[in-house]
Amino acid sequence: MNKKDGYVFVWPIGTRIIHWMMVLSFTTAFITSFYEYLLHDHVAFGFIFLIIIIYRIIWGFIGPDYAKFKTFKLKPSQLKHYFVEKIQNRWRKIPAGHNAASSWFTVWALTVGTVIVISGLLLYGIQEGKGLFRFLNDDYSQYMILLGYIHKYASYLFAAWAVIHIAGVMVEQFWHKTNMVFAMITGYKKTDGKDTKVKPYLSFFAYSIILIAIGTYFFIVSSNYNFLTIQKYTNINYKEIKPVFYNECGDCHKIYPPYLLPKKSWTRIMGALDNHFGEELTEANISKSQQSSILEFLVANSAETSKREASVKIMYSLGIRRPKAITKTPYWRETHKHIPLSVYKEKKIKDKSNCIACHKDFDQGNLDDMNILYQR
Ligand code: HEC
Ligand code: HEC
């Protein structure tokens, strides 16, 4: 006997909560991905999404019948039949579980979702030098750009997929009048079939996942660094490791970490100190031996020698060019193009070359996204 006449109880409360958590975590992760300085929040939402993807895959094997992959209608003929019937018969009966379209939808969403979370975790390690896979930054930094594309386009695909899904549900709601929207709210579908019953241990599993996902979110946002978000790179004390560089090159402006320009750029800069951005630096300011010692240090720590995101991307963006300023690299221009020119005129910033005004601890080589002070 069904609890509600004419309706079947299809989606238990745990499933509904998880469905909406997936919606929310994807949407928020998607939006925050457009802001570099929100990376930490992006990762926190991403972890909710990750836990839910894993859960949903397991649920497809052990969950109640309506959720099981075994009951999915994945034959092409079933999909064709679904659409033919949809067009020909506005008042057709809908199945209690997944129809052919939503079966395909779920399998696809889980596949693309898996690609998103795996590429995301790897990217966090390889590109940012953060999280569980930060050790991969050493050997695989050359893949960060490719991985970035995979992560980005997989999420676009997922977003497009979600739009199609919503459109499909709307057609059900307003054309076929199957009250589909409410199925994921109340759990009941207007059709025939057996009410779903969830075994207590499965309910326990679902609720645990919900708690773990929410717990992980708060665990991440409540501190800058924990084992899921720890960074491989720490501040560099240039003052101690290369005093001459720190003192002489940090006199007029804060020092620029050597890993932000290629060797050839540093050679050019050091070879033209007599006309250094309008300043004349002579041997009276920095002696010849100091100059060569500084150049040696800059070259030994140049962008070519570094696996950091900024170094790899600056090199990639430069091609064969070797400009004399970081602000002249295409990568710098690209990452700062959203900042209105008027911002640089503000009193505490003054100049676009005043990196430390917006990047905390910049003179210690720290370019962590969490240290970006200026926010749009
Ligand atoms: C006499 C003052 C002075 C000293 C000393 C000095 N600089 Fe500069 N530097 C400037 C000025 C002025 C600019 C233009 C940008 C600005 O207004 O801050 C500049 C810009 C730069 C830039 C380009 C920043 C950008 O926009 O991407 C680099 C790189 C740089 N300096 C490196 C060095 C190095 C290396 C040394 C040490 C050998 C050094 N500077 C010492 C005055 C100085
Ligand atoms: C007005 C503030 C401001 C100034 C000045 C500024 N930045 Fe940035 N920078 C930002 C913001 C904001 C972002 C993040 C952009 C985004 O959200 O996509 C950023 C991003 C970056 C990134 C990319 C993030 C990453 O992890 O690689 C690099 C590299 C960077 N800045 C270097 C510099 C350097 C070098 C200078 C000085 C020559 C500088 N910035 C000056 C605000 C500033």
Read off the pLDDT of residues 161-195 as tens digits, 9 standing for 90 and up: 999 999 999 998 999 888 888 889 999 988 888 89
Backbone angles phi, psi at 46, to 5 degrees: -60, -35
Which of 245, 317, 336, 353 is the best mutation target for the ligand 1 pocket, counting ligand atoms within 8 Å of the beta carbon and taking the most?
353
Q: Where are the alpha helices (DSSP H) in 232-322?
A: 238-241, 243-248, 263-271, 288-300, 309-318
Pairwise CA distance, residues 260 & 242, whole Å: 17
Give residue 191's pLDDT: 85
Q: Which atom of ligand 1 is nearest to the CA of 285?
A: 5
- Across 2-11, 58-67, 74-83, 250-259, least confident range: 2-11
User: What are the distances in angstroms from CA 139 to CA 19, 37, 143, 318?
Assistant: 38, 26, 9, 22
Question: Which protein residues are within 6 Å of ligand 2, measured from CB?
Answer: 35-37, 260, 309-310, 326-327, 335-336, 339, 343, 349, 352-355, 357-359, 367, 369, 372, 374
* β-pair partners for 242: none
The answer to whether 24 and 111 are in contact (CB under 8 A) is: no
Q: Ligand 1 center to residue 276 CA distance, Å?
A: 7
Give residue 177's pLDDT: 87
Q: Which atom of ligand 2 is nearest to the CA of 346?
A: 1
pLDDT beyond 80 at 376: no
Q: Ligand 2 center to residue 345 CA distance, Å?
A: 16
Q: Ligand 1 center to residue 292 CA distance, Å?
A: 17
pLDDT beyond 80 at 2: no
Q: How many CA atoms lie within 13 A of 362 on its CB side?
A: 17
Please give the distance of CA 196 from its chain centroid, rounded to a whole number.
36
Section 47-58 average pLDDT: 97
Q: Which atom of ligand 1 is nearest to the CA of 270?
A: 38
Pairwise CA distance, residues 178 & 201, whole Å: 32
DSSP 37: G
Q: Which pLDDT tens digit goes with each residue over 213-259?
A: 999 999 999 998 999 999 999 999 999 999 999 999 999 999 999 99
DSSP 67: G
Pairwise CA distance, residues 231 & 199, whole Å: 42
Q: Which atom of ligand 2 is nearest to the CA of 36?
A: 17
- In this structure, what token pair is assigned to residue 292? 């060569």
Pairwise CA distance, residues 197 & 350, whole Å: 65
* β-pair partners for 188: 9
- What is the residue whose two structure tokens read 């790179």? 233
- In this structure, what token pair is assigned to residue 265? 């750029």
Q: What is the mean pLDDT of the chain?
A: 94
Q: Ligand 2 center to residue 139 CA distance, Å?
A: 25
Please give the distance of CA 319 from its chain centroid, rounded to a whole number.
26
Residue located nearest, by CA, to atom 2 of ligand 1: 252
Q: Which atom of ligand 1 is nearest to the CA of 326?
A: 27
Q: What share of the chain is helix, strand, coil (3-state, %, to 5)?
A: 65, 5, 35
Q: Ligand 1 center to residue 277 CA distance, Å?
A: 7
What predicted TM-score, i.e. pTM, was given to this entire model? 0.92
Could you tell me the residue ranges of all domains in the chain? 8-221, 238-371
Would you place residue 375 in the very low, low, confident or very high pLDDT band (cuts 50, 70, 90)? low
Question: Nearest bound ligand to CA 285?
Answer: 1
Beta-sheet pairing, 8-9 with 188-189: antiparallel
Q: Which pLDDT tens digit goes with each residue over 96-114?
A: 888 999 999 999 999 999 9
Would you place residue 3 in the very low, low, confident or very high pLDDT band (cuts 50, 70, 90)? confident
Closest CA to 128 of 256, 255, 311, 361: 311
Burial class of residue 249, CB neighbours in 10 A (0-12, 13-18, 19+):
buried
Which carries the bigger pLDDT value, residue 88 or residue 179? Answer: 88
Q: Which pLDDT tens digit goes with each residue over 119-170?
A: 999 999 999 999 999 999 999 999 999 999 999 999 999 999 999 999 999 9
Q: Which atom of ligand 2 is nearest to the CA of 308?
A: 27
Which of 315, 359, 360, 370 is the best mutation target for the ligand 2 pocket, counting ligand atoms within 8 Å of the beta carbon and taking the most?
359
Evaluate: CB of 314 within 6 angstroms of ligand 1: no
Q: How many CA atoms lie within 13 A of 232 on its CB side?
A: 19
Q: Which pLDDT tens digit goes with each residue over 278-323?
A: 999 999 999 999 999 999 999 999 999 999 999 999 999 999 999 9
Evaluate: CB of 244 within 6 angstroms of ligand 1: no
CATH code for the part of the protein at 8-221: 1.20.950.20
Question: Nearest bound ligand to CA 287?
Answer: 1
